[in-house]
A = this chain, B = another copy of it.
Amino acid sequence: MEQKVMDQELQTALEQFRVLDEKITHFSSIIGLTDWDSKVMAPKKGRNVFAKAIGTLRTEVFKLSVSEEMGNLLEKLSAVNDLDAVTKAKVREYREYYQKSKRIPADLFQEYSILTGQANDAWEEARANNDFAHYLPYLEKIVQFRRKFADIYGYEEHPYDALLDEFEPGLTVKRLDPLFAKLRESSVKLLERIQKHGKPTAVEVFDQSFDIETQKAFNRYILPIIGFDMDAGRLDETVHPFAQTVTIGDVRLTTRYLEKNVRSALFGTIHEAGHGIYEQHVNPDYEESVLQSGASFGIHESQSRFLENMVGRSREFWYYFYPQLQAHFPAQLENVSVDEFYRAVNTVQPSFIRVEADELMYNLHIMLRYEIEKDLIAGVIEAKDLPAIWNQKMQDYLGVTPSTDTEGVLQDVHWSFGGIGYFPSYSLGNLYAAQILRTIQKDLPDFYNLIENGRFDLLQEWLKENIHQYGKLYTPNELIVKVTGEELNADYLVQYLEQKYCEVYGL
């Protein structure tokens, strides 16, 4: 009899939890859409007020997530031993957020939500006009908020740990520093060798104009082939490319077309497609629940960086696609062989813009941001000092100094939405991706052969089966161990870069 009462209570709690999860997820889907809209569609005069409306909805989600009802349900369900794996994962996700956020007052949260909505516009304008001062007041407030959140969340060693954990559960400065140190050391050495002994690439092929309409046509041509379902998504244009999930059946990519830089949209689109395909492949059973999205920002970046680099910058990828690219741009490419093009695509060249960096330089861009963010959150530096610090670190890490803030500290959208703590995910993604590549090549020994033959379906099937379908069922650490048999380590990426660039540069 008592067992029956318990069961009944548990059933009620499970149903209440399901309803609450669904409501929060519905609202989150809508927030995703409004975010996308405000960056891609919204006319300028409406943005300010609409940012407040989004802030109100974000606050509602926040309130639901830290509500007494949520707290009680999490407590009840956490105490159940034989909870099914799916519910257990959902409880884990909500509990993490609940424990971090329950001490943040709703008013403070709403103020922060509205601020980040408005800061995006300020950033866009500042970037367009090379006017850091216009963005600074927003950035200063965002930094203050993030410092405050770090304190409220709590941390053991470094305040920045509290923010890292938001994007990659469990990640700390202590764990990241040695990974980055190893990567930096090997990258700098490799760069030196390339600069001294590398056989130059025909990078000047990119110093030409590529008609934007034709670029669009080529992007639309490759997207479905590499696995993005156009009936379950869109491709639009923005200043800063991104992927935004509304639902599993509605994943939206954006890209940026530059006539003088064909690589920008090309690899930007492939990168965002990597994010998008991941979300399109999540098990439909997880739709309308917190599990409907990718495991973490780091794992997400592993999928985008994998598709962009391990696949999209491979020789075999271009063996398959280059004839079509030539057909789109005959004047620009008729005298460039596919091997020349492949090497040109993999030119190592210290430059200003992260999203257009080659695979080797990319991680140095990230480390620079990581160092700055750590110091910002620790209060060692202030927002107003960022332009000067940015340029100094660019010189230190990459040996170049941007001539404008637009090419420097203003290039990234992340801080405007409060994403301090996000950047390390990119390099983490590169690390995960190299480790995953090693595993794929065990399962599919003819991996690069498949690519050369355009069998992206088989590649995507593997990714769906082994990674994508799980959504947030596993933590990032559980997932990487499940997929590759071991925890994350930097060796695979170091080896991959070494091998790739020795081949490209004939070292």
Contact = CB atoms under 8 A, between A and B. Distances in A.
A456 interface: no
30 contacts: A26-B52, A26-B53, A26-B56, A26-B57, A27-B56, A27-B57, A29-B53, A30-B30, A30-B53, A30-B57, A34-B34, A37-B37, A41-B41, A43-B231, A43-B233, A44-B231, A45-B231, A45-B249, A46-B232, A46-B247, A46-B248, A46-B250, A46-B251, A47-B249, A47-B250, A48-B249, A49-B247, A49-B288, A50-B246, A50-B249
Interface residues of A, number: 40
A235 to B, nearest CB: 10
Interface in A215-268: 229-234, 246-251
A389 interface: no
Contacts of A288: 49, 52-53
A42 interface: yes
B248 A23 contact: no
Given A22-B56, A30-B34, 19 more contacts: A26-B52, A26-B53, A27-B56, A27-B57, A29-B53, A33-B33, A33-B34, A33-B37, A42-B250, A43-B234, A43-B249, A43-B250, A46-B232, A46-B246, A49-B249, A49-B287, A50-B246, A50-B250, A57-B57
A255 B255 CA distance: 26
Residue of A45, A54, A57, A60 most packed against chain B (CB within 10 A): A45
Interface string A11-30: 00000000000110111011
Interface of A: 22-23, 25-27, 29-30, 33-34, 37, 41-50, 52-54, 56-57, 60, 229-234, 246-251, 287-288
Contacts of A234: 41, 43
Contacts of A29: 49-50, 53
Given A37-B37, A41-B234, A30 B46 contact: no
Nearest to A55: B26
A47 B248 CA distance: 10
B54 A30 contact: yes
A465 to B, nearest CB: 20
